[in-house]
Amino acid sequence: MTATMTQCLLRLVEEDYKLSDYQSEIAPRWCAGCGDIGILTAIQRLCRDEQIMPEKTVFVSGIGCSSRLPHYMNAYGFHGLHGRALPVAEGVKLRRPDLDVFVTTGDGDCCSIGAAHWLHAIRYNMNMTVLLHDNQVYGLTKMQASPTSPRDLKTNTTPYGAYLNPLNPLTVTLGVTNVSFVAQAVDWIPDLLYDIIAQAHRHRGLSFVRVLQRCPEFMNHRFDEAVHDPSKTRILTHSDGLRLKPEISRIYRNQETHDPLDMPRALAIAALSDEIPVGVLYRDPSVPCYEELREAERPNTPDLIRTVLDEEFDKVTIWPQVEDASTGVE
């Protein structure tokens, strides 16, 4: 038994990842005060706390400020095309269930150019954690209106104010068939941001977390009201939900016990216009995952490939004829 004990100890030592083990050598190039920094920190804390193996983790992103996140993680990263993070992540996950897949995307990336993929990703419900960094503006391209920009927002493409009401990513996501996890967090309450991402990560299925984040460059005062007035934030709790520290509970007294299987209430909460809900809006672990539905019954061994090919060829094979039958008489 001594040997086994030693092995266990060795394993423990080996797997004792520290926060710095998840930090890449590249320092984040986000603006000072950017909400993305808080999200990165929460993810790195989660990786450390869950002792996630960096080589078994893939962070997939699209294009935009938020999508730079994979560069700052010491893990496998895929910083791909604008709007296409989700299909890439689905391709990664399909045949590699051993990989832990995170997607970081922004309001332009997910809700505008990649909107088709967003809806279908929810429907596929593959087991991955999707973080929508929603700062309600295009930052990397220097302040254009995004689909989630508030009405009347003046930007470089809407100098007279945004014409349309913003799209609500929460109600949209909740409305898609097979939705299995929807939560909302805000970058200015780091404890809850961490807790919500941790819950999302624990969920089996696609967990969609919208993180309201501040853009100090272009939307500096967008969330001031909520930041300064805790009553504008509605904290959603349930028995195995957020673990509110007493100091958080003392500040954020606007709390609601919400059953995360209650879809009508989730939709009502998602649609709140005067308060910002924070917590898990919806959670249904029973929704099947696409990669499990498509899981192979048998591994694709060379022998199996040979057998199936031969079966298919047999159906269309002309074997050499002993006699020439085509000139035969009736």
Residues that bind another protein (CB under 8 A): 24, 26, 54-56, 58-60, 63, 70-71, 73-81, 84, 87-96, 98-99, 116-117, 119-120, 294, 296-302, 304-306, 308-313, 315-321, 324-330
Query: Residue 87: what residue type?
Result: P
Phi, psi angle pair for 314, to nearest 5°:
-55, -35
Nearer residue to another protein within complex by CB, 224 or 310: 310
Least CB distance to another protein at residue 155 (A): 25
| Rounded distance between C-alpha atoms, residue 23 and residue 108, angstroms | 26
Q: Which is nearer to another protein, 49 or 55 (CB)?
A: 55
End-to-end CA, the chain? 84
19 or 271: whose CB is closer to another protein? 19
Cα R_g (the chain), whole angstroms: 25
Nearest-approach distance from CB 308 to another protein, in angstroms: 5
- Least gap, CB of 113 to another protein (angstroms): 10
Q: Kindly state the tokens that stand for 135.
A: 């700062």
In the bound state with another protein, the residue whose beta carbon lies nearer, of 178 and 237, is 178
Give one DSSP letter per residue of 150-203, joined into a string: PTT---SS-TT---SPPP-HHHHHHTSTT--EEEEEETT-HHHHHHHHHHHHHS
Comparing CB distances to another protein, the nearer of 247 and 303 is 303
CB of 15 to another protein, least distance (A): 12
Q: Compute the Cα dihedral for 20, 67, 39, 45 and give only its sign.
A: negative
CA distance 226 to 320: 81
Q: How far apart are CA 216 and CA 222, in angstroms?
A: 9
- In the bound complex, what is the minimum distance in angstroms from residue 174's beta carbon to another protein? 19
For another protein, the closer of residues 273 and 321 by Cβ is 321
Nearer to another protein, 117 or 234 (CB): 117
Query: Which conformational region is residue 142 in: left (phi greater than 0), alpha (psi within -120 to 50 degrees), or beta?
Result: left
Smallest distance, another protein to C-beta of residue 212, A: 26
Q: What is the distance between the alpha carbons of residues 117 and 260, in angstroms, rounded to a whole number?
A: 25
**Alpha-carbon dihedral sign for residues 45, 47, 50, 51:** negative
200: tokens are 């999302």
Residue 115 C-beta: closest distance to another protein, Å: 11
